[in-house]
């Protein structure tokens, strides 16, 4: 006798059987993707000095060590400063260029468009080397300022490309209407275009901050005494496996993940509205 | 006419900052680097006479040439393995997973993106090194009776790279797959094609351009990366970015480093042209 319940059971189990290869593949790949992160976070709570099995925690002492580490906190502050300022410059310059090429009649606009996004096609390592040689040649001392300059070089093309792609016909019509109603160019740009492009401006800013925050090779090559967080972590790696590195890595991970989740919620909220 | 010129004048003014920045801090450095690659370092001095001696050295010394070959081999392996691993995952996510779960599944699939890049390579060290997770597991199970190290070799570098690029490629291939209307697969099935045939003759050709773009991105990011091989690869064999950094940090030989960087750029350009050609041919 087949009761409705057992029929559902049979169907579910047969579906499970059919999906078995797919499910096991997903489990394996997700295992591969998560393994290092899980190990990183777990052994950040290690009690002894080496972050390998057996796990003898949980202990928060390595997190305490990070917060007490003056250099690490300075590097964190530097990273945030460089990230925010360089991203601000990237968004503003990218926006002005996109507005100019999309709205105002510039002969050879395609050519300039190509010039502006060219840095996207070159390895960071090459950009870093070029900047290092140029700064040395010109006698400009390596500092956080030069790191910020480098981060604008890699982020501005991105902001430009995002903003340029968002300046569609619909916005052009609204801008034309504003102009017909007597607004002059600056008013149109600041009071009409900027508010309409707000989501894209915000997105490119966040993307720039993320890239700057995680960028290593440029920051490594063109900084000297004041360094950013990835460079400070890099110099910690010389001491080999160390729970303190686990702790700072886990902190970065948790902060970024929470920020991303918040953004995700924010974006899906605004989409619904 | 007056209005037009003044508007385009304003256009130039808005364009100028971005343009000047790009010229001053991107194109000029490339030109200076190109010039450096033709100069030489003699002793501790920079000799500004043009010659191709750095490039000749590159071809003559196996030390330099080998690092390029190593880089090409590792990058090729990483690209192929990453695509092969990522495609089925993207496929399952796009086709088999219910729509309302896809979003969360994708967020999970790229979770480790949010650790810093340097830390990501380091965390593989925790897994692969002597006494690490795998070594400990093998000891516990009884397969080995002494700690083993899987780090500091080419395999570790490849694992670290593949980990990163599987995430990246899953995203790009997924984005491609969800754009395909479901009706394509249904039409293929109605016309008598089994799942395998419909995949090979319908789905794969339609997603191949996206895969090639993702693979090219993988290639560029992988061949120019210094961090992963430096942390995971040990120093028995060097990749090109490591050789470049050694020229700068150990020998402060900027001309040689510049020549190597120019060669790296040339390699990337060649692959770029090949991919672009292929994509264009495909579209016709």
Instruction: Please give the full DSSP string across A219-257, using - where no structure is assigned.
Output: HHHS--SS--HHHHHHHHGGG-S-HHHHHHHHHHHHHHH
Per the CB < 8 A criterion, the answer to whether A33 and B109 are in contact is: yes
Whether chain A has a CB inside 8 Å of the CB on B21: the answer is yes
Q: How many structural domains compose chain B? A: 1
For the cut 80, the answer to whether the pLDDT of residue A18 exceeds it is: no
Rounded distance between C-alpha atoms, residue A177 and residue A147, angstroms: 42
Q: Which chain B residues are Cβ-neighbours of A49 within 8 angstroms?
A: none
Per the CB < 8 A criterion, the answer to whether B188 and B198 are in contact is: yes
Asked if A156's CB is within 8 angstroms of B257's CB, the reply is: no
Name the pLDDT band for B21 (thresholds 50, 70, 90).
very high
For the cut 80, the answer to whether the pLDDT of residue B52 exceeds it is: yes
In a domain, B196, yes or no: yes
Report chain A's mean pLDDT, rounded to a whole number: 87
* Per-residue pLDDT tens over the stretch A31-46: 999 999 999 999 999 8
Rounded distance between C-alpha atoms, residue A90 and residue A153, angstroms: 8
Name the pLDDT band for A270 (thresholds 50, 70, 90).
low
Among B1, B13, B17, B22, the residue to mutate for chain A (most A Cβ within 10 A): B22
The question of ipTM being above 0.85 is answered as yes
Radius of gyration of chain A (CA): 25
- Alpha helices for A104-223 (secondary structure H): 109-117, 124-138, 144-166, 169-180, 185-187, 194-196, 198-214, 217-221
Whether chain B has a CB inside 8 Å of the CB on A66: the answer is no
Q: What is the mean pLDDT of residues B170-191?
A: 85
Report chain B's mean pLDDT, rounded to a whole number: 88
Radius of gyration of chain B (CA): 24
In a domain, B20, yes or no: no
Of A29, A123, A241, Cβ closest to residue B224? A123
Q: What whole-number percentage of chain B has pLDDT above 70?
A: 96
Name the pLDDT band for B133 (thresholds 50, 70, 90).
confident
Chain B, 204 to 263: residues with Cβ < 8 Å from chain A are: 220-221, 223-227, 231, 241, 244, 248, 254, 257-258, 261
Closest to B94 (Cα-Cα) out of B85, B105, B83, B84? B105
In a domain, B13, yes or no: no
In a domain, B16, yes or no: no
Domain extent for B268 = 61-283
Q: What is the DSSP letter of A192?
A: I
In a domain, B36, yes or no: no
Closest to B19 (Cα-Cα) out of A270, A234, A101, A70? A101
In a domain, B32, yes or no: no
In a domain, B50, yes or no: no
What domains can be seen in chain A, in order of their start residue?
71-242 (1.10.3720.10)
Task: Report which listed range, A15-29, A79-93, A196-210, A258-272, is most confident.
Answer: A79-93
Whether chain B has a CB inside 8 Å of the CB on A222: the answer is no
Residue pointed to by tokens 């906190």 = A73
Closest to A99 (Cα-Cα) out of A192, A206, A189, A177? A189
Name the pLDDT band for A207 (thresholds 50, 70, 90).
confident
Asked if B30's CB is within 8 angstroms of A130's CB, the reply is: yes
Per the CB < 8 A criterion, the answer to whether A231 and A49 are in contact is: no
- Alpha helices for chain B (secondary structure H): 2-22, 28-38, 53-60, 62-91, 99-109, 117-128, 133-141, 154-177, 182-190, 195-198, 204-223, 227-232, 240-249, 254-283
CATH code of the domain in which B160 resides: 1.10.3720.10
């Amino acid at each position: 006798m087949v009761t409705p319940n057992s029929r559902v059971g049979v169907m579910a189990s047969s579906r499970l059987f059919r999906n078995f290869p797919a499910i096991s593949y997903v489990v394996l790949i997700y295992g591969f993707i998560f393994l290092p992160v899980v190990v990183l976070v777990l052994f950040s709570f290690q009690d002894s000095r080496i972050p390998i099995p057996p796990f003898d925690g949980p202990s928060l002492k390595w997190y305490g060590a990070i917060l007490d580490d003056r250099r690490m906190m300075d590097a964190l502050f530097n990273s945030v400063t460089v990230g925010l300022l360089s991203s601000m410059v990237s968004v503003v310059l990218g926006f002005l260029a996109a507005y100019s090429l999309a709205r105002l009649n510039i002969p050879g606009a395609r050519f300039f468009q190509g010039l502006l996004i060219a840095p996207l096609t070159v390895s960071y390592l090459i950009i870093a080397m070029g900047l290092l040689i140029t700064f040395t040649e010109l006698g400009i001392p390596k500092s956080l300022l030069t790191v910020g300059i480098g981060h604008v070089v890699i982020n501005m093309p991105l902001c430009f490309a995002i903003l340029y792609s968002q300046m569609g016909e619909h916005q052009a019509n609204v801008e034309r209407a504003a102009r017909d109603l007597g607004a002059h160019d600056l008013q149109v740009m600041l009071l009409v275009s900027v508010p309409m492009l707000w989501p894209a401006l915000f997105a490119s800013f966040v993307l720039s901050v993320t890239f700057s925050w995680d960028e290593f090779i440029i920051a490594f090559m063109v900084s000297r005494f004041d360094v950013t967080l990835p460079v400070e972590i890099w110099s910690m790696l010389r001491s080999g496996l160390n729970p303190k590195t686990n702790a700072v890595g886990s902190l970065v991970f948790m902060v970024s993940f929470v920020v991303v989740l918040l953004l995700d919620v924010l974006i899906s909220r605004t989409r619904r509205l | 006419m007056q209005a037009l010129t003044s508007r385009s004048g304003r256009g130039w003014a808005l364009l100028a900052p971005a343009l000047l920045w790009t010229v001053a801090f991107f194109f000029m450095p490339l030109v200076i680097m190109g010039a450096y690659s033709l100069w030489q370092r003699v002793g501790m001095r920079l000799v500004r006479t043009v010659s191709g001696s750095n490039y000749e050295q590159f071809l003559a010394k196996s030390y330099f040439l080998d690092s390029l070959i190593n880089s090409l081999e590792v990058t090729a392996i990483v690209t192929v393995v990453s695509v092969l691993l990522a495609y089925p995952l993207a496929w399952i996510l796009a086709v088999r997973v219910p729509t309302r779960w896809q979003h969360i599944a994708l967020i999970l699939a790229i979770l480790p993106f949010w650790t810093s890049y340097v830390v990501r390579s380091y965390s593989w060290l925790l897994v692969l090194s002597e006494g690490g997770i795998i070594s400990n597991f093998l000891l516990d199970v009884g397969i080995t009776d002494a700690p083993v190290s899987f780090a500091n070799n080419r395999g570790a570098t490849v694992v670290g790279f593949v980990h990163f690029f599987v995430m990246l490629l899953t995203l790009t291939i997924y984005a491609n797959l969800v754009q395909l209307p479901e009706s394509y697969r249904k039409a293929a099935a109605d016309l008598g094609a089994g799942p395998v045939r419909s995949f090979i003759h319908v789905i794969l050709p339609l997603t191949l351009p996206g895969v090639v773009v993702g693979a090219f991105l993988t290639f560029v990011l992988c061949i120019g990366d210094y961090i992963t091989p430096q942390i995971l690869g040990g120093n028995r064999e060097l990749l090109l970015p490591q050789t470049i950094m050694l020229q700068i940090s150990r020998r402060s030989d900027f001309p040689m480093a510049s020549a190597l960087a120019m060669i790296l750029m040339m390699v990337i350009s060649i692959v770029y042209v090949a991919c672009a050609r292929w994509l264009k041919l495909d579209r016709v």
